[in-house]
């Protein structure tokens, strides 16, 4: 699909802007809204590691701050042997805004995997079980 290609390219470009002086592990993410808008994000580290923010959350929080429409999908890209998946914290944040979304995971070698968010976080916290 063309949207997959566009999202992966946006995520690769965002990855180049990652601020990763400590881990040197750059990640890029790009999400697409129901209106077809693409919003990207990169990971931003802090010397106090707990204050680091992942690329997926940067993209999601930017979309929310800009009042964008419903998120339908997200691509995440990193230089890993296998396509990376979002961390648990990102999965829970994404679940808050788009439980039905799909996630396209890619690496710099061109490998790809696609998941539904609910596959990656089957027992998410929701308003009904917290």
Q: CATH number, domain at 77?
A: 3.40.140.10
Residue 128, in any domain of the structure: no
* In the predicted structure, residue 58 carries a pLDDT above the cut 90: yes
Which residues touch 25 (CB under 8 Å, ≥6 apart)?
Answer: 43, 78, 79
Question: What are 77's strand-pairing partners?
Answer: 28, 106
Pairing of strands 38-42, 71-78: unpaired
Residue 130, in any domain of the structure: no
Domain count, the chain: 1
Q: What is the mean pLDDT of the chain?
A: 96
Question: What are 105's strand-pairing partners?
Answer: 76, 113
The percent of residues in the chain predicted with pLDDT above 90, rounded, is 92
Residue 69 pLDDT grade (very low, low, confident, very high; cuts 50, 70, 90): confident
127 is catalytic: no
Report the pLDDT averaged over residues 5-28: 98
Residue 104, in any domain of the structure: yes
Report the pLDDT averaged over residues 31-46: 97
Predicted confidence (pLDDT) per residue in 79-116, tens digit: 999 999 999 999 999 999 999 999 999 999 999 999 99
Catalytic one among 56, 66, 119, 127?
Answer: 56
Residue 127, in any domain of the structure: no
Report the pLDDT averaged over residues 35-40: 97
What gap in Å lies between CA 73 and CA 117, rounded to an integer? 9
Residue 53, in any domain of the structure: yes
Q: What domain range includes position 111?
A: 2-120
Residue 126, in any domain of the structure: no
Residue 129, in any domain of the structure: no
Query: pTM, whole model, 2 decimals?
Result: 0.94
Residue 129 pLDDT grade (very low, low, confident, very high; cuts 50, 70, 90): low
Residue 123 pLDDT grade (very low, low, confident, very high; cuts 50, 70, 90): confident
pLDDT at 1: 72
Residue 66, in any domain of the structure: yes
């Amino acid at each position: 699909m063309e949207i997959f290609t566009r999202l992966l390219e946006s995520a690769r470009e965002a990855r180049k802007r990652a601020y990763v002086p400590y881990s040197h592990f750059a990640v890029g993410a790009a999400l697409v809204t129901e209106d077809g808008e693409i919003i990207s994000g990169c990971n931003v580290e802090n010397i106090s590691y707990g204050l680091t923010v992942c690329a997926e959350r940067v993209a999601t929080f930017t979309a929310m701050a800009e009042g964008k429409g419903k998120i339908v999908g997200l691509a995440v890209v990193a230089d890993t042997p296998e396509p990376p998946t979002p961390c648990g914290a990102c999965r829970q944040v994404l679940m808050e805004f788009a439980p039905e979304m799909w996630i396209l995971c890619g690496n710099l070698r061109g490998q790809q995997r696609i998941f539904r968010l609910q596959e990656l976080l089957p027992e998410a916290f929701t308003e009904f079980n917290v």
